[in-house]
């Protein structure tokens, strides 16, 4: 008989980053601060790109979408964690856990796809500058973002529906601060072989595919920059990619670091602590990376706050 969900299962327990009572106020203050900085910083990027007509370009269109995805990405996990700390509760409902997992996968994958699209945008801008406005028309940009959304939703829906087919028994403690896919699957008392295989192949395709696209784009960009004769021209071309390259490095280094360290230590609690880097810290740092030494963003922010140009 096919294993189905135990109808008695109504909730899971999120063990969080630490069960030490004296650390809870510190964790609450730290994550509340990081969450507020993330939301405010990314909202400012979105407002800046909307308010300044000079920023109505493909690069900043993708950046505003990345900022929106980062706000939603962090909002899927941190608010629930803060509520649990404040109420001294570890409970998350079964439906809430599946919902949280679904949206976490959507916005995490969306970050990945948008970074790939932004790499393609930089490739076209540097390697095919004369045809840039034709290739990266507003219609094409919207189509790329829409395609990213569709693939991410289908990817998350696949995993969520497969988790719904699992049955869970007595052990309902998740050693994490959110319903992380692997942790939830490994709590099941039914066979998870198909789930594990789908997770593995989907990770290879959705992780390796975009990364390959980014690396290919930058290999062409580097070749084009090397062909530029003047040092000033090389610097100008590279400076248009510096912020994006920094975000890509931060995103992939932290993500790979989490899973490599988790595989090496086999500690769920260590994996949870490391997950903070890509799920909370990276979205918080992205606005700073893009606004730092970016005259266009700084000028637009002055418009937002009513300052003089």
3-state SS class at 91: strand
Q: In 10 A of CB 280, how many CB atoms? A: 21
- The two tokens of residue 154 are 């289908």
Nearest-CA neighbor of 27 among 83, 70, 68?
A: 83
78-87 helix and 58-75 helix, angle to the nearest 10 degrees: 20
Look at residue 262 in the predicted model and tell me its pLDDT: 53
* From the candidate CATH numbers 1.10.10.10, 1.20.1540.10, 1.20.1070.10, 2.40.50.140, the one assigned to the domain spanning 11-304: 1.20.1070.10
Please state the domain extents for the chain. Answer: 11-304
Element (H, E) at 151: helix 138-164
Handedness of CA 299, 305, 306, 307 (dihedral sign): negative
| Both structure tokens of 170 | 């007595």
pLDDT of res. 7: 45
Task: Please tell me the distance from the alpha carbon of residue 304 to that of residue 309, in angstroms, as a whole number.
Answer: 11
According to the model, what pLDDT value does residue 3 have? 43
Tens of pLDDT along the chain (309 residues) come to 344 444 457 889 998 888 888 889 999 999 999 999 999 999 999 998 998 888 889 999 999 999 999 999 999 999 999 999 999 899 999 999 999 999 999 999 999 999 999 999 999 999 998 999 999 999 999 999 999 999 999 999 999 999 999 998 877 889 889 999 988 998 998 888 999 899 888 888 887 889 899 999 999 998 988 887 777 777 777 777 888 888 888 888 877 766 665 555 455 666 777 788 888 998 999 888 887 667 788 888 877 777 654
């Amino acid at each position: 008989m096919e294993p189905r969900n135990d109808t008695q299962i109504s909730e899971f327990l999120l063990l969080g980053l630490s069960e030490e009572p004296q650390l809870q106020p510190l964790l609450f203050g730290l994550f509340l601060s990081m969450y507020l900085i993330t939301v405010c910083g990314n909202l400012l990027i979105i407002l800046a790109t909307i308010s300044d007509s000079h920023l109505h370009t493909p690069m900043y269109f993708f950046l505003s979408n990345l900022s929106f995805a980062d706000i939603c990405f962090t909002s899927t996990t941190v608010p629930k964690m803060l509520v649990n700390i404040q109420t001294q509760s570890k409970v998350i409902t079964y439906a809430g856990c599946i919902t949280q997992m679904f949206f976490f996968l959507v916005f995490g994958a969306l970050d990945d796809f948008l970074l790939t699209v932004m790499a393609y945008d930089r490739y076209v801008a540097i390697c095919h500058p004369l045809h840039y406005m034709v290739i990266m028309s507003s219609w094409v940009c919207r189509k790329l973002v829409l395609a990213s959304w569709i693939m991410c939703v289908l990817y998350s829906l696949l995993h969520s529906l497969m988790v719904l087919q699992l049955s869970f028994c007595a052990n309902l403690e998740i050693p994490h601060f959110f319903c992380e896919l692997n942790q939830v699957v490994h709590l099941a008392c039914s066979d998870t072989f198909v789930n594990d295989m789908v997770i593995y192949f989907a990770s290879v395709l959705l992780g390796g595919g975009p990364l390959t696209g980014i690396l290919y784009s930058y290999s062409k960009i580097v070749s084009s920059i090397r062909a530029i004769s003047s040092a000033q021209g090389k610097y100008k071309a590279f400076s248009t990619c510096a912020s994006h390259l920094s975000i890509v490095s931060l995103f992939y280094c932290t993500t790979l670091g989490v899973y490599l360290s988790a595989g090496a230590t086999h500690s769920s609690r260590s994996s949870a602590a490391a997950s903070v880097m890509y799920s909370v810290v990276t979205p918080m740092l992205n606005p700073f990376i893009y606004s730092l030494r970016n005259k266009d963003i700084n000028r637009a922010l002055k418009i937002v706050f009513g300052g003089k140009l």
